[in-house]
Structures are given as structure tokens and as C-alpha cells.
Amino acid sequence: MDRIDIENLVTGLQERVESRRQSGDYPLGLEEQLEAEFTIIMAAVRRDEINTAELGRRVSAVERSAQAIRAGGETASSVPGGSVVHKVAGRLVGRHTGQLADAVRVLGGEIAGSLHEIHHLIDLQQRADERQLHDVVGSLMDRVAVIDHVADAIARLEARVKTLEETAIRQL
């Protein structure tokens, strides 16, 4: 679906309404009524406060952090024989903390997966809101078209009545 430039659409509608209002085609208050309805619709649908870019960055950070969890540590030491002690202690501690590290990595992966789903749902909702906005704008355009048609029909009827009145006056 092509993206509709809302600002240009609104500007075009406002220009048409102004022209028709000045020529007397629209009843009093119609412009204000349409503007008020459109403002309410835009406030309900356009949600500028929702931007999922930061959520995406944070989800990626959770994934990276979860994958970086390890049970092993550095074994080098500047103290003579310290490296051997660190290796032995590391094996002993690693045996017990390795399972914990694996569980935390799995948990982090599950949390990141859940956050990805939330991110996806927010994006889907935003697209649904945009589709709804397009439907509402289409409905407003239909209403304006009906008003244009009615205004043209009234102008033609007024011209016919004027012609009939002039004919009737001449016949008298």
C-alpha cells in the first residue's frame, strides 16, 4: 500500500474547504466540525510517543549479555604458583557454576525472545493504527465528496428556481 502524505492531504482539504466556505458552498460551522473530528481522530491514532527503536537496541543488549555469561575465569597470576591454584580453583568452582551459567544463558535467551515478541506486537499495532487512519481519512474524503456533490446540486437547483421565477415573472 502506498504511503499517504497526511500533511499534504490535510493542506489540500483545508484549501478546498476555505475556497468553498468563502464562496458560500458550505453551511456555517461545517469547517469547524470537520476540523474537530479530524483532530480527535488524529489524536487517537497518531501515537508519536511510540518508537520501538530503543526497545530493539535493548533486546539486542540482553541477548549479547546473556550469551557472554561464562563460568570460567582468568587463571593467570603474577604470584609464583598462583596460576596452578587459580586453575584448580577454577575447575572446582566452574563445575558447580557451569550449570548455573548455562541456565542463566537460557533464561536470558528466553527473556530476549519474549522482548522480541513484544517489539513485534508493538510494530504490528502501529501498522494497524496506520491502516485505521487511512480508513478514516478515506471516510472523510467520502464525506467531503458528498458535501461537494450536495453543494453542486443546490447550486443547480437554485439556478433552476431562479430561471423558473424569471420565466413566471415575464409571463405575468
140 by DSSP, 3-state: which?
A: helix
Tally of CB atoms within 10 A around 17: 18
Contacts of 101 (CB under 8 A, 6+ apart): 69, 70, 71
Whole-number Å distance between alpha carbons of 149 and 123: 39
Rounded to whole angstroms, how far apart are CA atoms 68 and 53?
23
Q: What is the tens place of the pLDDT at every residue in 17-27?
A: 778 777 877 77
Q: What is the pTM of this model?
A: 0.47
pLDDT single digits (tens) 67-93: 888 776 676 777 787 788 778 877 887
List pLDDT tens digits, range 132-165: 888 888 888 888 878 877 887 888 888 888 898 8
